[in-house]
Amino acid sequence: MIIDCHGHFTTVPKSFRDWRAKQVEFADDPVNAPRIREGRITDDQIREGVGGGQLKLQQERGSDLTLFSPIAGLMSHHLGNERTSLEWAELSNDTVYRVTELYPDNFVPVCQLPQSPGAPPANSIPELKRCVEELGFVGCNLNPDPTGGYWTGKPVTDREWYPLYEALVELDVPAMIHVAASCNPNFHGTGAHYLNADTSVFMQVLQSKLFEDFPTLRFVIPHGGGAVPYHWGRYRGMSLEIAERPLEEMFANIFFDTCVYHQPGVELLTKVIPADNVLFGSEMIGAVRCKDPDTGHYFDDTKRYVDAIPSLSEADRHKIYETNARRVYPRLDARLKARSL
């Protein structure tokens, strides 16, 4: 089985985005704000969006199952307020859940959290528990910067995050580190803000004792880990100097996906990071939607890159494609075993 750990419902209908825009417009006017039920899309709209998008590409490109979450860019925790963020998270998560109910063989749900600038991370726990315990979600996306590119909050290693981590550990679900859209004109969303966040969170954790406090907490750092694997020597040296420990100790808690959109990058990722810590991911349909003119293939067809790594053993390829995801996402593994998979 080939499990894609990184997919978003980016093919939602225009009406869904329009509802969000209206909600943000009336964020301070709850009387005239749109009701959640008005943002609910139909099953036919879901089928049209997913069937002609992610499902079609999943089948064409040869993967079997996608961990599916709301559109990362549209999480937009910097917009509106804590109330609107909760409403938006509930609507978005319920929509993803309905996708997975319509296509249970193809998609498994991962939730967004109702974060908001300045709001305690603990306030996201009820929605996390609702999604995991009531709806069967297997993980969540955690935004380390709800301000949308201005980073005015505390690092993810600050103790204000600890109640949320306690809940993640209790539920035995990992968090994918994933920012949303950038409202800072200095940082393009997918080209800079995403990769900055991946790199920044890794460095924050490197400087901390977070995993000593939470030895079973698991983070998936997407987009190939930002700059981390490509400057591994720098981080190994800083870990020895700053934390006085080998960087490799973090491998029990940190994992990277393969959302790197060219062959040399994916090969370097798998040379630097042990196969046990790499999960297959594509982010399709996501950051880059066009074809590479040099190859004629879509940039986000990442399975093609993994298949073509000459130094990768079949055993390691199997880890990247399936067993690592089942290990990092135990609720996914239990879900599959219940279906004798």
Active-site residue list? 283
What separation in angstroms does the CA of 178 have from each of 122, 198, 230, 264?
18, 8, 19, 24
Closest C-alpha to 145, from 214, 206, 80, 75:
75
Cα(208)–Cα(206) distance, integer angstroms: 6
Q: Residue 338 class from Cβ within 10 Å (0-12 exposed, 13-18 middle, 19+ buried)?
A: exposed
Cα(215)–Cα(253) distance, integer angstroms: 7
**Can you state the percent helix, strand and coil of the chain, rounding each to 5?**
50, 10, 40
Question: Between the CA atoms of 250, 252, 258 and 259, what dihedral angle is there, to the nearest 10 degrees?
Answer: -60
Question: Between the CA atoms of 97, 112, 7 and 339, what dihedral angle is there, to the nearest 10 degrees?
Answer: -40
Is 325 in contact with 332 (CB distance < 8 Å)?
A: yes
